[in-house]
Structure formats: structure tokens, C-alpha cells
Amino acid sequence: MTVEREEVGQAFRCGFVSIVGRPNVGKSTLLNQILGQKIAITANKPQTTRNRILGIHTTNVAQTLFLDTPGIHKPSGKLNRYMVEQALSACRGVDLVLLLVEAHDSLGGGDDFILDVLAQGSIPVMLVINKIDQVEKEKLLPLIEAYAQRFSFAQIVPISARDGNGVQRLLQEVERCLPAGQPLYPEDMVTDLPERFIVAEMIREKILRRTQQEVPYGVAVQVEQFEERSGGDLVSIQAVIYVTREAHKRILVGKGGSMIRQLGTDARHEIERLLDAKVYLELFVKVKKNWIDSDRFLREFGYE
């Protein structure tokens, strides 16, 4: 990596920063906004993010390694316990924690639990108040005061992850908290996730956005074939969508295959933007009963 450190007159900084919070507060939206491209899926449903996702943001003064995490919630079942442990473990061994909350919420029991966990360590915590575009400014002051009395934050930064308002200031505050160190990744790299993982997540996102009730929570996606053809101008992908019930399979297939075709079209357009190539996408739906509580299937689907 070639970074002109002498121009900025300071030591280069590098460190890990975890983004934590309750479900649906905008953690993945914030990560995508910071990176300027989509690597984490988003949907208006709890437990959209299931794994820790690394996002790499590099400037001429710092490389910040962001960890997007599942929403912290009261878990029920092995999959949910896995997700919560992913989030809580990301609060350990990093240089900074960003606690993301919503501007239109009050400090509640879920945030109290997270703050109690963070208080057990010595890692600095920055409070990031998201969705400020949805509230009047004067309503932010009581919320800021309530959090400031509850916990000693390194900084409190209001933002809108959706439109980017305040995100640049947040990045500057984050970089000031990082330790001096050499970059760990090339400057043009934004994640260490394999393309297969991102493709599977993009397919799952389309399912989350088009289905209701319990269907999204029992869905896993595995990419079984990922093959470049015609000199890389065409990518052939076969993916299997696993559900827990036959009724869910019927919903995802749809009448005459209408739903699975629409899911494929939605996903294909986004995958083509990711890969910058034409994509031939085939989707199949299979039933694996109770996979969300099976250690073997959780490992098979990458939830270890």
C-alpha cells in the first residue's frame, strides 16, 4: 500500500472498530455508507445480519477495520444464540466500539443490557445516534443527556446513516481513537468476504424484503456453483434456498414459480452490479426441518 504519510504530518493509524446495537438500528446501512458500496444486506426485519462482517475503510491517515454485527437481542434457539454471541464477542479485543441507537427511541432495557456488557471492559465506546433525519433537533438533547448520564462515552455523534449526514465527522472522530500502526490490507480492498458469501446474502436479502411473518427467519442460502465463463464476462451461479417447512417452500416458489422467478430477477440485478459482469442465476428451494436448531446444519451453513 502506498500512503503519503509525510503529507499529513502524523503517524498512520490502524485499528478494529465494532458496530453494535439492537436489531434494526442501521448498523449495516452505516457500514455500507462508510464504504461507499454495499457489502452488508439490509432489510426492515430483525436478525437480518447473522455474521460479523468486516468492512475496510482506508484514507491517507488511517485504515479502519469495521465489524458489522448482528443485533443484540434476547435469543431463543441455537441460531439466535449464535448471532448474539457474534455481536458480544465483537465487543472484546477491538480498539473502539460504536454503540448505534435510534434518535426516535428512548434508552430502554435492550440498550441497558448492552451498556452493562460494555462497562465490564476497558474499551472506549462512542455513542452514535442514528436516524436524526426522522426527528426534530430539539428532541435530540434529552436523549443525549439520558445516555451521557448512563455511561461515559468517548464521544456522542448524531448521524443519518441513510443519507450520510454526520458520517464524515464520525469517521474523523473514529480515526482519532485508533492506535498508530501499519495498514493490514491493501488500500483498494473493502472486505475480506468471499464473493460467494456476499452473493448468498444478497439472495437472502431479497427473500427478507419480499416475504412476511416467520419465513425469513428460517431461511439459509448456499451457493453451490460459482463459475466464470466467456473470459469472465458471464458468471453462472446456482444457489439453494433452505427453509424449515414445506409451506415456506410453497411460498418461495409461488404460483407457477412466480415468486422464485421474481427473487431471481431481483438478486441477479444486484449481483451483476457487485461482480460487474452478466450473471446467469438459478435458484432452488429445499426443506431442511429445524435446521436453525441443528448444530450440524448450522456448521454446514457457516454459522459456527
CATH number of the domain encompassing residue 55: 3.40.50.300
Q: CA–CA separation, 149 vs 198, rounded Å? A: 40
Q: Is the pLDDT of residue 32 over 90?
A: yes
Residue 184 within any structural domain of the chain:
no
Split at pLDDT 50, 70, 90, the class of 213 is low
Q: Are residues 86 and 214 in the same domain?
A: no
Q: Are residues 211 and 142 in the same domain?
A: no
Q: Are residues 139 and 234 in the same domain?
A: no
Distance of CA 163 to the CA centre of its chain: 17
Crossing angle of the two packed helices 258-275 and 195-210, in degrees rounded to 10: 140
Greater confidence (245 vs 83) lies with 245
Q: Are residues 112 and 230 in the same domain?
A: no
Q: CA–CA separation, 58 vs 198, rounded Å? A: 21
Residue 172 within any structural domain of the chain:
yes
Residue 214 within any structural domain of the chain:
yes
Residue 17 within any structural domain of the chain:
yes
Backbone torsions φ then ψ of 218, nearest 5 degrees: -105, 25
Greater confidence (109 vs 152) lies with 152
Q: CA–CA separation, 292 vs 218, rounded Å? A: 7
Residue 280 within any structural domain of the chain:
yes
Number of separate domains in the chain? 2
Average pLDDT over residues 26-36: 94
Q: CA–CA separation, 201 vs 33, rounded Å? A: 18
Q: Is the pLDDT of residue 229 over 80?
A: yes
Grid cell digits, residue 185:
490490507
Is residue 12 within 8 Å of residue 3, measured between CB atoms? yes
Q: Are residues 243 and 106 in the same domain?
A: no
Output 256-260 pairs: Cβ under 8 A, ≥24 positions apart: 259/210, 260/285
Q: Are residues 56 and 171 in the same domain?
A: yes
pLDDT at position 73 is 72
pLDDT at position 48 is 77
Could you tell me if residue 234 is left (phi over 0), alpha (psi between -120 and 50 degrees) or otherwise beta?
beta
Q: Are residues 74 and 146 in the same domain?
A: yes
Q: Are residues 63 and 92 in the same domain?
A: yes
Split at pLDDT 50, 70, 90, the class of 4 is very low
Least confident piece of the model among 5-9, 105-109, 136-140, 226-230: 5-9
Last residue of a domain, one of 119, 145, 177: 177
Residue 190 within any structural domain of the chain:
no
Using CB atoms within 10 Å of the CB of residue 69, give its burial: 0 to 12 exposed, 13 to 18 middle, 19+ buried. Answer: buried
Split at pLDDT 50, 70, 90, the class of 202 is very high
Q: Where are the beta strands (DSSP E) in the chain?
A: 13-20, 53-58, 62-68, 96-102, 125-130, 155-158, 220-229, 234-243, 278-287
Say how many C-beta atoms besides its own lie within 10 A of residue 56's C-beta: 21
125-157 pLDDT, tens digit each: 999 999 998 888 888 999 999 999 999 999 999
Q: CA–CA separation, 107 vs 113, rounded Å? A: 11
Q: Are residues 19 and 165 in the same domain?
A: yes
pLDDT at position 214 is 62
Q: CA–CA separation, 34 vs 272, rounded Å? A: 22
Quick check: helix, strand or coil at residue 15? Answer: strand
Is residue 240 within 8 Å of residue 291, measured between CB atoms? no
CATH number, position 212:
3.30.300.20
Greater confidence (51 vs 227) lies with 227
pLDDT at position 121 is 84
pLDDT at position 110 is 80
pLDDT at position 97 is 95
Is residue 200 within 8 Å of residue 35, measured between CB atoms? no
pLDDT at position 108 is 75
Give the domain extent around 29.
Answer: 5-177
Q: Are residues 156 and 33 in the same domain?
A: yes
